[in-house]
Amino acid sequence: MGNRLLSALFASAALVATGGLAEAKTVVHVMHQGDPGWVKAYGDVAARFEAANPDVDIEMIYAPHDAYNEKFSAAVMAKQLPDIMELDAPFLANYVWSGYLQPVKPLIDKDLLDDMTDSNIAQGTYPIDKDLYAIGLTDSSVVLYGNKKYLEAIGARIPKSVDDAWTREEFEGYLEKLSKLEGVKWPIDTFRGYGIKTEWITYAYGPLLESAGCDLIDRKTWKATGTLDGEACVKALTMMQDWVKKGWVVPTSSGTNQFYAEGQPAALAMGGHWFYAEASAAMKDNIVVMPLPKIGDKGVSPNGTWIWGISATSENPEIAGKFLSFLLKDKEYREYAKTQSAYPGLKSFAAGSPLYAEGGPLAVAFEQASKTAIARPPHPAYPTITSAFMQAVDKIFNSGDAQEALTAAAKKIDEDIEDNAGYPPFDEQQ
C-alpha cells in the first residue's frame, strides 16, 4: 500500500513502477474525511483490497472534515480530482451539475444497488436525470436525547415514537422547567460548538424551522426571497434566539459534550445518531432517545450523510467501482460502523444493526427516516444556500435582528442563482 495519509494533493500519475520491477500497478486515489477511527477503518479496507488485488494501489487522501470543501475546490482548480471522493450528500447536485461526478450504477455490484434503502437512493440521486451518482453504507438523522433522571424530576412525558413527539408547547414548557431544576446548568445542547464551518446548523436546525413552516428556499421557484426571509422563518429563528437569550442553550464556548460531561449539566441534547455511542457509554440507562419535537403542524427530521462518488475524470472507473463495492461489503468495516452507531443505508446493514431494529434504543431515529425526513434543497446553489443560512443563524444567535439577517441571506442566495442564469436546467423546473 502506498502513502495512506497524504495531507496534500497527490501526484496525478495513474501508473507507478514498483520495486524496480517491470510490473506496474494501477493507482486509485480516494479522497475522504473522518475522525481517526474512520480513517483507520478506510485504510484497513484499502489494505485488504490491495491484498486481494495485488495489481492495484489505493492511495488514501485525507482532508479534515471542516476544511473538506476547500480541499476539494483546490483539487478542482488543480485539475487533480481523485478517482473516488467522499461527499456530503446535499452537495451532490452541485458536483453533478459542475460535471465532477459520473453515474455509478454501471460500476457498483448490482446486489449492493438492490440493497439500498429508499433514503440512501434519494441522497445519491441527481434530481434532473434521476440517475444515481453516489452510494454509501450509511445515512443519518438527528434525534432529541434526554437525561432520564431530569425528565422524571419535572414530570415530562417521554415520547415512544415519531407519532407522539413533543409539541412546541410541551418542548418549551419542559425547557423552562429544566432551567429551574437543581443540577441542570443548561436545559439543552444544540451543539453550537460545531460552529459554522460544518453543515451542522443547516442539517440539524433546518428541520425544526421547516416544522414551523419555514424553508431555506422555495423548492418550486428556487427563490429564497419571500421564503427564507418570510414571516414563518423570522418567527422560527426569533423563537430559537429567545432560547439562547434565556440561557437555555449550551453556548459555543462550552464545547459539544455537555449532555454527558461530568455532572451532566445539560438535560437535553439535539444530537446526531453518532452521538449515541459516546453518550450511552457515559450515561448507561440514564439516556433516553426521542423524536425531534414538532414545532408546527408536522414533524420534520434531516437525512443525508457522507457518501461515495466516482469522479467524471477517473481513468479507472471500473476499478474505482470495484473498490467501492469491496468497501461496502467489507465485514470488518461494517463491524466498525456498528460500534459508531452508524445509521443504516443498506438493508442488509440495517438487519445486522440491533440499535435500529424495532425495540432498539435508536429505533425512533430509523422511524424518522420513513415518516419525517426531508432532504436539504437539492440544487446546485446549495453551497451558497447553506453558507448564507448558517451565517444568518450565527448572527441571530448572537443577538442580531432576525428579519435583517434572513433578508441578507435570501438576497445572497438569489444573487448567486441569478449570476448563474438559474443553473440551467434547474431554471426549467419552475
Q: What is the pLDDT of residues 23-69, one digit of tens each?
A: 689 999 999 999 999 999 999 999 999 999 999 999 999 999 888 88
Percent of the chain with pLDDT over 90: 86
d(CA 308, CA 9): 19
Mean pLDDT of the chain: 93
Residue 112 has pLDDT above 50, yes or no: yes
Q: What is the pLDDT of residue 67?
A: 85
Report residue 181 as a C-alpha cell: 431544576
pLDDT band at 136, cuts 50/70/90?
A: very high
- pTM summary value: 0.90
Q: Which helix (H) or strand (E) segment is 57 a member of?
A: strand 56-62
**Which of helix, strand or coil describes residue 5?**
coil
Q: Which helix (H) or strand (E) segment is 287 a member of?
A: strand 287-290
Report residue 273 as a C-alpha cell: 445518531
For the beta carbon of residue 133, count every other beta carbon within 10 angstroms: 23
Report residue 221 as a C-alpha cell: 421557484
Q: For 385-396, how does the pLDDT look when each residue is reduced to its tens digit (9 = 90+)?
A: 999 999 999 999
Q: For 72-89, how does the pLDDT look when each residue is reduced to its tens digit (9 = 90+)?
A: 889 999 999 999 999 999
Q: What is the pLDDT of residue 70?
A: 85
Query: Domains in the chain, start-ordered, CATH in brackets?
Result: 26-139+304-353 (3.40.190.10), 142-303+378-420 (3.40.190.10)
d(CA 97, CA 176): 46
- List C-alpha distances in Å: 21 to 3, 49, 108, 238: 19, 21, 32, 67
Residue 428 has pLDDT above 90, yes or no: no
Q: What is the pLDDT of residue 65?
A: 86
Report residue 298 as a C-alpha cell: 408536522
Least confident of 205-219, 284-298, 349-363, 386-400: 349-363
Cis amide leading into 207 (omega within 30): no
